Amino acid sequence: MQAFLFSMALCFLSLSLSAQSSFIQNKVIAHRGAWKKNELPQNSIASLREAIRLGCEGSEFDVWMTADEVLVINHDVDFQGLDIEHETYETLLSKKLPNGEKIPTLEEYLREGMKQKKTKLILEFKPSEISTERSERVGELAVLTVQKLQAQDWVEYITFSYEGGLKAIATDPTAKVAYLTGDKSPAELKEAGFYGFDYNFRILQLKPNWIEEARQLGLTTNSWTVNDPEVMQFLLDKKIDFITTDEPETLLKMVGK
């Protein structure tokens, strides 16, 4: 009986370990989902599904907050001629993406991504064009939504809003938030509680030592938006953790996937 219980315990242990390690590690982050090759709308559920189908390590998407505090997925503040920050969610439903999808909510996007456990969800919350307070609220609400859906295992955050990033970290100190703007050194990010950086590749071409500095500090390193294979190779040679690209098919080939 004891041997049976022991083997059952081992079985559960190996199952839970395999569940933890099921996320892909190939450095490839699809920027706004994988949309370009198949002409899918950026930030659509369809582009998320394609990034998952390709086997990307992560699929990135952009989050804005409507006037009535619904978090929705779109790159720009403008959605089909409507200003997301000044419109209600209900009003946004009057427009459709070119493939017939409505604008996804953050909840819908997370639920879609959580149907699998191979591709991570790289959640960019956008700085408000109205106020710093709204930027902070978007960061806070994004984290609370992820907590509500218990999506923490899937989600890592990125943001250009330093204040919003700090708010997200304060809301959940375990939230993995990387900073996008490129005006902070790895040491400053570590001090502020960020998880890593996600900087434009031109900044990292000027300051390539930041990649190694970040690694020494235990920060993750990512770069956007890298579509040129030569720049991809430069970053791979520097052993960057992730590369965010509109060309995930190209980068997948380069990393041998």
Would you tell me which residues interact with Mg ion (CB under 5 A)? 62, 124
Only one residue has tokens 């198949």, namely: 38
34 touches 248 (CB < 8 A): yes
For Mg ion, the closer CB: 177 or 190: 177
Q: What separation in angstroms does the CA of 82 have from each of 32, 93, 208? A: 20, 10, 40
Q: Which residue is nearest to Mg ion (CB)?
A: 124
β-strand pairing of 120-125 with 82-83: unpaired
Q: How far is the CB of 55 from Mg ion (least distance, A)?
A: 21
For Mg ion, the closer CB: 85 or 124: 124
For Mg ion, the closer CB: 124 or 241: 124
Q: How far is the CB of 30 from Mg ion (least distance, A)?
A: 11
Contacting residues for 251 by C-beta, under 8 A, at least 6 apart: 27, 28, 226, 232, 243, 245
For Mg ion, the closer CB: 162 or 190: 162
For Mg ion, the closer CB: 124 or 247: 124
Q: How far is the CB of 244 from Mg ion (least distance, A)?
A: 8
Give the whole-angstrom CA distance, residue 204 versus residue 209: 8
Q: How far is the CB of 1 from Mg ion (least distance, A)?
A: 55
246 touches 225 (CB < 8 A): yes
Q: What separation in angstroms does the CA of 81 have from each of 35, 66, 76, 103? A: 21, 14, 11, 13
Output the six-digit token pair for 172: 């959940």
Give the whole-angstrom CA distance, residue 178 versus residue 55: 22
For Mg ion, the closer CB: 160 or 208: 160
DSSP string of 52-116, one letter each residue? HHHT-SEEEEEEEE-TT--EEE-SSSEETTEEGGGS-HHHHTTS--TTSPPPPBHHHHHHHHTT-
Q: How far is the CB of 66 from Mg ion (least distance, A)?
A: 18
Collapse the DSSP code of 30 into the 3-class scheme (helix H, G, I; strand E, B; otherwise coil) and give the result.
strand
Q: How far is the CB of 180 from Mg ion (least distance, A)?
A: 8
For Mg ion, the closer CB: 64 or 210: 64
Q: How far is the CB of 256 from Mg ion (least distance, A)?
A: 26
